[in-house]
A and B are shown apart, each in its own frame.
Chain A
């Protein structure tokens, strides 16, 4: 035990003995393997995040405050996570107290008229969406799926997903927030701080929510967020999703005001043109380049497996031999998925007509094979509920994303093919799944109304196989090298390399500084250092909140 016993007892007094543990096996179940989906820093074979000092399950904001105050008193680092999926939620320093926010899982309010919900950290997308649908509303779900904490995606990380373009991404949707600062003080932002309710996250005056998250959140390194409100949007569908089919091939026969399409384009420019036109026309409820995550060569075959409860991965090779599958695979090279949802019959009629116009103008087409009812209804359910995101890891248990190419559609589309070819070449070496190079998943619209796209090139590997993980890392290093040469910058494959290194612990300062100094605006990290000094004077987080000292 690394915690002094008196500290352990004090923590026990706060949360109750049944909600704290320092049993080594329990602590090991709160470590993350960096052979795994480290989320943009590894993989590193047989490397784990440090074992925590103890793990706690707080039940209230007051308990969280008391824990954080105790940590300040004893200078103990702490890190909270809600669902513990991704290396970011884990300590990068020894002797860190881990807070599992699972018990704080209430949906406190759904304001139907003003369209927002107030949630605790343990509320996941699936349950919020299910409750919201009962009152005709929907919640924006992150691309990582409905198993993720809504609060975490809104306050602490990214929060981009297929409903960005209509529902807004979580940056847009985060309203009032209750934040236990790293000092243990309680900060309520926006209207909440003025006791006016949750509806507004900004102000008074300059919005201090800006210290909690920018493009990204603080990734658990700056205190603990204990409640937040998120904006919802209309759900013009039934109060409960009607689900049919045999597991896992569930599908939803939604009413005719919902349409789901896979569309493809003759060129990348046409693809980009379509994205721009969709945004400026104001249609689309969900839009994502989704199934290409399995790889250009494998995606339709995988759809066939996933929509047939009698099939498994073992059928993949046989399915790939099917001429129809080969035709559809070829046809849908430059594709994405889109769901239209009409608020009224006239609305869907117009959206459909407008979408057909867009396809006509850009030379795009609907991939008919994906319109087969069983596939189409499966696709609709998949995109709405996003309950199959574990498929990221379907092949062998691990994936991570390379490149990213975050920017306007013209940016990504002008480099996508090169990124795909580069990966395809590396696939032949055998360390990663041979998927066809283009495995670039991402939203059609990175924010409300569109604007940007993201091209995360899924790289699937086996975390149990040293050659696979080592080979993947080699590939990622090569991706970074290519990105730097081409002026794309360091890609997603290393987005967190400045926080954690090959030993599972905080990246050494010299390396962090080197990375930050080579960024387009090192000043951003200098300011973050000052913000950290101001709000986290005892520095009880970790380097996931990125700083650069003068």
Chain B
């Protein structure tokens, strides 16, 4: 794909600004009605999906150049996909998330990527990791765990730890707990350890298509070698990458998030939660598990028109609009925990507010990223929750960092942490 492939959409964008708001049917208050962090923070129309369509068109037509401002417009997009959901309330022939991804790819390919991102990519090239630690220590988090270690041992079920869990001390207990829970339920699981590559999802969302491809192929090769049939991960970013970005490259493994597995295990009796965890919590839907966590349906086709001017596709094009993301599994799991009360924020499920970490924004625009996280924390507090729970170490880390930066207090958990408490 290329940015030019979206030229028709640039003309067909409704310019309605629905991309700046959660689906209007779901608006419950003035305070929590917005959906797009970048336009909410920077305010110029250019920072919304409709604005980025217009900026992209301006660039393609040669009517403007890639200024610092244009780079900022493009790279402050977290690719959270909320604009995509809202747009598709009414539109069936626009793909704003796809467009902004291509915009980023184009800018990077044309040499306009951000320094902060390039540094990260360079580190990966020299076998460093997004977390700036040497790759060879990637598997250390699992020391002492009863896991299979491909490629030495074949493992049909693989637990992909992800970069956060592999290298951040505060995320490692959660990764360990996830594996321990799976083992407790009798699931034979392996980890790649040092052979695990970054999923590439973050780089993809930063605009580094080639880098993503390199990492994806590396992982796929390692899986093939290990005989992997199912990949489980606790990282929403990885989940999305494996589920959506890898299949077009030929990946055929089943992809599950830890919460999906936990949900199934609890329902089938493989795990019983007995200890009470008396707490009021609210659940944050990670973008890449929720609205971007829908089943992948391959499609290749062309646009056609019916009834004169109705734009459809041949064959029928599947719609990714957040309808079938992973929303219920994490909630089922939380509701299974004795003593735990789950309250909902105003913006949930497909119209959840982003944590602020995505798209390389955390790396390049830390203030904006922190603000985004603080908005979510405010929303969590407003619904009366004592703790904010999620299912992605990036989200959790961003929330914790925002709380620390602002000197605020609120407990942040991963679902796995709470399940581990309840066992």
B1 within 8 Å of A by Cβ?
Answer: no
**Contact indicator per residue, chain A 1-22, by CB within 8 Å of chain B (1) or not (0):** 0000000000000000011010
CB pair B90–A388 under 8 Å, yes or no, is yes
A434 CA / B70 CA spacing, docked (Å): 40
For residue A249, which residue of chain B has the nearest CB? B323
A85, A124, A312, A435: which contacts B316 (Cβ < 8 A)? Answer: A312
CB pair A393–B92 under 8 Å, yes or no, is no
Of A403-411, A463-471, A480-488, which binds chain B? A463-471
Q: In whole Å, how far is A84's beta carbon from the nearest beta carbon of chain B? A: 6
CB pair B24–A387 under 8 Å, yes or no, is yes
Known: A28-B58, A126-B27, A127-B30. A393 touches B90 (CB 8 A): yes
B91 surroundings in chain A (CB, below 8 A)? 390, 393-394, 397
A269 CA / B69 CA spacing, docked (Å): 59
Interfacial residues of chain A within 229-275, with CB under 8 A of chain B in the complex: 240-241, 243, 246-248, 250, 252
B51 surroundings in chain A (CB, below 8 A)? 29
**Contact indicator per residue, chain B 291-328, by CB within 8 Å of chain A (1) or not (0):** 00000000000000111111111001101011110000
B312 surroundings in chain A (CB, below 8 A)? 312-314, 316
**Contact indicator per residue, chain A 393-428, by CB within 8 Å of chain B (1) or not (0):** 111111000000000000000000000000000010
B26 within 8 Å of A by Cβ?
Answer: yes
CB pair A248–B316 under 8 Å, yes or no, is no
A526 within 8 Å of B by Cβ?
Answer: no
Most interface-central of A29, A128, A312, A432 (chain B CB within 10 A): A29
A479 surroundings in chain B (CB, below 8 A)? none
A465 CA / B303 CA spacing, docked (Å): 13
Most interface-central of B70, B88, B90 (chain A CB within 10 A): B90
Most interface-central of B25, B59, B316 (chain A CB within 10 A): B25
Interfacial residues of chain B within 342-363, with CB under 8 A of chain A in the complex: 350-351
Most interface-central of A36, A107, A147, A395 (chain B CB within 10 A): A395
B313 surroundings in chain A (CB, below 8 A)? 314
CB pair B306–A247 under 8 Å, yes or no, is no
For residue B306, which residue of chain A has the nearest CB? A317
A23 CA / B55 CA spacing, docked (Å): 11
A26 within 8 Å of B by Cβ?
Answer: yes
Of B12-20, B179-187, B406-414, which binds chain A? B12-20
A395 CA / B93 CA spacing, docked (Å): 8
B11, B30, B316: which contacts A107 (Cβ < 8 A)? Answer: B30
A293 CA / B84 CA spacing, docked (Å): 24
CB pair A462–B18 under 8 Å, yes or no, is no
B67 within 8 Å of A by Cβ?
Answer: yes
A389 surroundings in chain B (CB, below 8 A)? 16, 90
A359 CA / B191 CA spacing, docked (Å): 70
B52 surroundings in chain A (CB, below 8 A)? 29
CB pair B88–A248 under 8 Å, yes or no, is yes
B14, B67, B85, B317: which contacts A247 (Cβ < 8 A)? Answer: B85
Known: A57-B43, A248-B88. A25 touches B310 (CB 8 A): no
CB pair A395–B310 under 8 Å, yes or no, is yes
A23 surroundings in chain B (CB, below 8 A)? 64, 67, 69-70
Known: A23-B64, A381-B25. A462 touches B85 (CB 8 A): no
A506 within 8 Å of B by Cβ?
Answer: no
CB pair A130–B16 under 8 Å, yes or no, is no
B89 within 8 Å of A by Cβ?
Answer: yes
Known: A126-B24, A435-B307. A397 touches B46 (CB 8 A): no
CB pair B24–A385 under 8 Å, yes or no, is yes
B25, B50, B307, B309: which contacts A387 (Cβ < 8 A)? Answer: B25
Interfacial residues of chain A within 122-150, with CB under 8 A of chain B in the complex: 123-124, 126-131, 134, 145-147
A436 CA / B313 CA spacing, docked (Å): 22
A289 within 8 Å of B by Cβ?
Answer: no
A391 CA / B65 CA spacing, docked (Å): 33
CB pair A247–B23 under 8 Å, yes or no, is yes
B15 surroundings in chain A (CB, below 8 A)? 32-33, 36-37, 84-85
CB pair B309–A433 under 8 Å, yes or no, is yes
CB pair A463–B17 under 8 Å, yes or no, is no
B73 within 8 Å of A by Cβ?
Answer: yes
B33 within 8 Å of A by Cβ?
Answer: yes
B45 surroundings in chain A (CB, below 8 A)? 29-30, 55, 84, 100, 102
A84 CA / B319 CA spacing, docked (Å): 28
A394 surroundings in chain B (CB, below 8 A)? 90-92
CB pair B30–A431 under 8 Å, yes or no, is no
Known: A126-B24, A130-B28, A468-B309. A25 touches B69 (CB 8 A): yes
A435 surroundings in chain B (CB, below 8 A)? 307
A240 CA / B26 CA spacing, docked (Å): 9
B350 surroundings in chain A (CB, below 8 A)? 247
Most interface-central of B8, B27, B52 (chain A CB within 10 A): B27
A124, A298, A468: which contacts B21 (Cβ < 8 A)? Answer: A124
B115 within 8 Å of A by Cβ?
Answer: no
CB pair A460–B309 under 8 Å, yes or no, is yes
A31 within 8 Å of B by Cβ?
Answer: yes
**Contact indicator per residue, chain A 480-519, by CB within 8 Å of chain B (1) or not (0):** 0000000000000000000000000000000000000000
CB pair A84–B44 under 8 Å, yes or no, is no
B57 within 8 Å of A by Cβ?
Answer: yes
CB pair A393–B14 under 8 Å, yes or no, is yes
**Contact indicator per residue, chain A 358-398, by CB within 8 Å of chain B (1) or not (0):** 00000000000000000000000100011111111111111
For residue A469, which residue of chain B has the nearest CB? B11
B44, B58, B85: which contacts A55 (Cβ < 8 A)? Answer: B44
A463 CA / B27 CA spacing, docked (Å): 30
Q: In whole Å, how far is B265's beta carbon from the nearest beta carbon of chain A? A: 26
CB pair A387–B23 under 8 Å, yes or no, is yes
Known: A24-B58, A127-B33, A463-B12. A433 touches B307 (CB 8 A): yes
Q: In whole Å, how far is B50's beta carbon from the nearest beta carbon of chain A? A: 8
B5 surroundings in chain A (CB, below 8 A)? none
A430 within 8 Å of B by Cβ?
Answer: yes
A326 within 8 Å of B by Cβ?
Answer: no
CB pair B308–A430 under 8 Å, yes or no, is yes
Besides A313-B312, A464-B11, 19 more A-B contacts (Cβ < 8 Å) are: A24-B65, A37-B14, A126-B27, A127-B27, A127-B29, A127-B30, A240-B28, A312-B312, A312-B319, A314-B92, A316-B310, A386-B24, A388-B24, A390-B14, A393-B16, A397-B11, A397-B14, A431-B309, A462-B309
Residue contacts A-B, CB under 8 angstroms, 16 given:
A23-B67, A25-B73, A26-B69, A37-B14, A57-B43, A102-B43, A247-B88, A247-B321, A248-B321, A314-B317, A316-B306, A430-B308, A431-B308, A460-B309, A462-B311, A464-B7
Q: What are the 8 closest A-B residue pairs judged by CB atoms, nearest first?
A: A387-B24, A397-B12, A390-B90, A24-B64, A28-B58, A314-B316, A29-B54, A464-B11
Binding site for B on A (CB under 8 A): 18-19, 21, 23-26, 28-33, 35-37, 55, 57, 83-85, 100, 102-103, 107, 123-124, 126-131, 134, 145-147, 240-241, 243, 246-248, 250, 252, 298, 309, 312-317, 381, 385-398, 427, 430-435, 460-465, 468
